[in-house]
């Protein structure tokens, strides 16, 4: 026997053996769960056919096993069709279960977002895809702003996704700067909270582009709002417009947010604070990132170094 013939026969035997065992298992389950629906003569006939399949498989007789499996299959189609799920039904059930699980995860556990603008550069870049924890601060009733459980408020320095207060159909992502009751002031691009300057250090020059053509010259800073420092950028002093904010007290049940791209962020300095009920969750990780770069190929535009990068 040639190698090819041997390989074909081995594959055929594996298929027949698998089909026979699956068919025997299916028959036994049906007879066990719904014995009242099968007449005794049919049960005897099925048991005999099952025995033939097992015997021929044990003898490693390919032709006899194939005939025995075919015979049992005909009996199943003839007498047990009422208990067999159609292929369409199986696929439909699988899809419905997958959709249900996805909906539950999206509503209560984690949701995916794509970053559309450069307001959070360098922390988040245009084309970053992130996962957001929906249970970081509590649970909400899906498709509403009503919280079911709340176990903590956002912390200063958290990166949060929220519904834009002036258009609840739009999601924004910013960094929490001021907490309920805080007094926030921005003076010469420096942030003061309750009269205290938030410490930061200049790290050096920084260049970025949102569309692969318009390159901006900036300064890279490290700021300390909470226990973990984060990066931010500001345009060089000679080119930026000062966006000061007089001392402003944050209402209870609200937070003051800003983008890490301080001179190119439409945030609480312009439209006010964010009610806690509008917060959808806390940014966790970047799971996919691709630059908006027309001059690059698809492969070249993927930012491989940002994959599974924690958002801080």
Residue for token pair 């000062």: 242
Q: Which domain holds residue 106?
A: 99-310
Q: Is residue 92 part of a domain?
A: no
Q: What pLDDT score was predicted for residue 237?
A: 64
Write down the residue that tokens 């603008």 correspond to. Answer: 117
- Say which residues have a Cβ less than 8 Å from residue 112's Cβ, sequence separation at least 6: 129, 130, 131, 132, 287
Instruction: Confirm whether 174 is a catalytic residue.
Output: yes
Quick one: tokens of 46?
Answer: 């099925």
- The confidence score (pLDDT) of residue 243 equals 78
DSSP 185-222: EEETTEEEETTEEPPEEEEEEEEEESSSS-EEEEEEEE
Q: Give dist(CA 111, CA 108) in Å, integer.
A: 9
Same domain, 21 and 163: no
C-beta of residue 45 within 8 angstroms of C-beta of residue 27: no
Domain boundary among 49, 83, 117: 83
What separation in angstroms does the CA of 260 have from each of 190, 256, 267?
Answer: 12, 13, 10
Residue at which a domain ends, from 35, 58, 83 = 83
- Let me know whether 55 and 112 are in one domain: no
Q: Is residue 224 part of a domain?
A: yes
Q: What is the 3-state secondary structure (H, E, C) of 247-270?
A: EEECCCCEEEEECCECCCCCCHHH
Q: Say whether both 67 and 169 belong to one domain.
A: no
**Within-domain flag for 89:** no
List the pLDDT tens digit at each of the 312 positions of the chain.
Answer: 455 565 566 778 888 888 889 889 888 888 887 778 888 888 889 899 999 999 998 988 888 888 998 998 898 888 887 776 555 566 677 788 887 777 776 666 788 999 999 999 999 999 999 999 988 887 777 666 677 777 788 999 999 999 999 999 999 999 999 999 999 999 888 999 999 999 999 999 999 887 667 788 899 999 999 889 999 999 876 555 567 899 999 999 999 999 999 999 999 999 999 999 999 999 999 999 988 776 677 777 899 889 999 999
Token pair belonging to 251: 């209402």
- Of the residues 134, 140, 163, 174, which is catalytic? 174
Q: Same structural domain for residues 222 and 123?
A: yes
Same-domain check for residues 164 and 63: no
* 39 found inside a domain: yes
The residue whose two tokens read 């942030």 is 191
Number of folded domains in the chain? 2
User: Active-site residue 282, yes or no?
Assistant: no
Give me the pLDDT at residue 159, please: 97
How many helices (H) and strands (E) in the chain? 6, 17
Contacts 24+ apart (CB under 8 A), 262-265: 262/189, 262/232, 262/233, 262/234, 263/189, 263/218, 263/234, 263/235, 264/118, 264/119, 264/121, 264/216, 264/235, 265/119, 265/120, 265/174
> Residue 69 is inside which H or E element, if any?
helix 62-79
Which pLDDT value is given to residue 84?
61
Nearest to 250 by CA among 171, 154, 162, 163: 154
Write the CATH number for 17. 1.20.1270
Question: Same structural domain for residues 60 and 160?
Answer: no
280 found inside a domain: yes
CATH of the domain at 245: 2.10.109.10
Q: 19 with 54, same domain? A: yes
Has residue 192 been placed in a domain?
A: yes
Q: Do 7 and 118 fall within a single domain?
A: no
Verify that 172 and 209 share a domain, yes or no.
yes
- Backbone phi, then psi, for 122, in 5-degree steps? -95, -5
| pLDDT given for residue 145 in this prediction | 66
Same domain for 163 and 298? yes
In the prediction, which pLDDT does 4 show?
Answer: 52
Domain final residue pick, 83, 110, 133: 83
| Burial profile 61-71: b = 16 or more Cβ within 10 angstroms, e = fewer | ebebbbebbee
pLDDT of residue 297: 77
In a domain? residue 91: no
Q: Which pLDDT score is estimated for 214? A: 78
pLDDT of residue 99: 79
Q: Is the residue at 218 inside a domain?
A: yes
Helix (H, G, I), strand (E, B) or coil at 244: coil
Q: Is residue 139 located within the same domain as residue 266?
A: yes
Could you say which of 119, 140, 265, 268 is catalytic?
A: 119
24 with 146, same domain: the answer is: no
Q: Per the structure block, which two tokens stand in for 30?
A: 């049906």
């Amino acid at each position: 026997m040639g190698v090819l013939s041997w390989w074909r026969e081995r594959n055929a035997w594996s298929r027949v053996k698998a089909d026979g065992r699956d068919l025997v298992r299916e028959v036994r389950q049906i007879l066990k769960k719904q014995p009242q629906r099968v007449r005794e003569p049919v049960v005897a006939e099925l048991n005999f056919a099952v025995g033939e399949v097992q015997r021929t498989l044990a003898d490693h007789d390919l032709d006899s096993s194939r005939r025995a499996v075919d015979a049992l299959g005909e009996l199943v189609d003839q007498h047990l069709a009422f208990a067999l799920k159609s292929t369409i039904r199986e696929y439909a059930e699988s899809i419905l279960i997958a959709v249900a699980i996805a909906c539950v995860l999206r509503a209560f556990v984690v949701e995916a977002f794509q970053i559309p603008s450069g307001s959070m550069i360098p922390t988040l870049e245009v084309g970053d895809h992130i996962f957001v924890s929906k249970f970081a601060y509590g649970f909400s009733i899906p498709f509403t702003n009503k919280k079911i459980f709340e176990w903590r408020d956002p912390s200063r320095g958290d990166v949060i996704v929220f519904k834009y207060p002036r258009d609840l159909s739009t999601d924004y992502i910013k960094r929490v700067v001021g907490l309920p009751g805080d007094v926030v002031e921005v003076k010469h691009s420096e942030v003061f909270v309750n009269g205290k300057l938030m410490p930061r250090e200049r790290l050096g020059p920084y260049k970025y582009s949102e569309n692969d053509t318009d390159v901006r010259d900036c300064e890279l800073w490290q700021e300390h709002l909470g226990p973990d420092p984060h990066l931010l950028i500001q345009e060089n002093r000679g080119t930026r417009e000062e966006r000061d904010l007089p001392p402003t007290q944050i209402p209870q049940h609200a937070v003051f947010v800003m983008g890490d791209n301080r001179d190119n962020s439409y945030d609480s300095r312009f439209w006010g604070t964010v009610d806690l009920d509008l917060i959808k969750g806390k940014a966790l990780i970047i799971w996919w990132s691709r630059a908006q770069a027309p001059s690059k190929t698809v492969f070249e535009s993927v930012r491989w170094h940002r994959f599974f990068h924690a958002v801080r």
